Amino acid sequence: MLLNKVDLCPDVDVRIRNVEVIAEGISVHAVSATEGIGLDELRNYLTRGKTVAFLGSSGVGKSALVNALLGVHKQETREVREDDRTGRHTTTKRELILLPSGGMVIDTPGMREIQMWGDEGDLQGTFQDIELLAKKCRFSDCSHNVEAGCAVQAAIDHGDLDPARLESYRKLQNERTYLASKEEHRTRLYEKAKWKRISQWSKELRTRH
């Protein structure tokens, strides 16, 4: 996780801690493309044979980071708008950029998000603390909201679990459920189309004979 533009932030340590709470186990790096802060740590991920992509909304400094890593001004950059502090799209074409370190960066316009790819086991591995607490809940189908005997809510009340972490857990659960539902719908459409073709072939064969 990269926190760019730290040269403009007076409370970097606080911001880092806030991110660490909701992204447990993920390395958090404070960097500044314009001031060159933290770039040496970033280069450790961009060794020969490695390909990475920066993911973030317009204005966070993705193109500026590419320029800083290249050591030349290759990618166009723009200031964020003063009225809403959001950025303007500057990348207009897909490009694979080779860095001096031998690593490569994929620069593509409009890439603001990625979908989760994994199963229940991946979710449990990421939030093992919550999964262990959930096993102590009074009800096996506890939603960890207002149920009596909820071990997860008890841990939050006692200060042993950050509420933001539970919120992240729920978001990933919802995302996984949504993707599973979408995949199921896609499968149904495929099966429907397949049997429609089979039916058409069957009718054509009967007509010929």
Q: Would you state the pLDDT for residue 110?
A: 53
* pLDDT number for residue 157: 93
Domain 120-208 bears CATH identifier 3.40.50.11540 = no
Distance CA 9, CA 17 (A): 14
The pLDDT assigned to 32 comes to: 92
Q: In the chain, which segments carry CATH 1.10.40.50?
A: 120-208
Report how far Cα 75 is from the mean position of its chain's Cα atoms: 23
Q: Kindly give, in sequence order, each residue whose CB lies less than 8 Å from that of residue 85, ignoring residues fewer than 6 positions away.
A: 59
List, in sequence order, every residue forming a beta bridge with 3; answer none if it has no partner: 30
- The pLDDT assigned to 85 comes to 46
H/E run at residue 40: helix 39-43
Full pLDDT tens readout for the chain, 209 residues: 989 999 998 898 999 888 887 777 788 999 998 899 999 888 888 888 888 888 877 778 888 888 888 886 655 555 544 454 444 445 456 678 888 888 888 876 655 555 555 555 555 567 888 889 999 999 988 989 888 899 999 999 999 998 988 888 888 888 777 777 877 888 888 888 888 888 888 777 777 76
In the prediction, which pLDDT does 195 show? 84
Tell whether pTM > 0.75: no
What pLDDT is recorded for position 149? 92
pLDDT of residue 181: 80
Percentages of the chain per state (helix, strand, coil), in multiples of 5: 45, 10, 45
What is the structure's pLDDT at 191?
84
- Per-residue model confidence (pLDDT) at position 111: 52
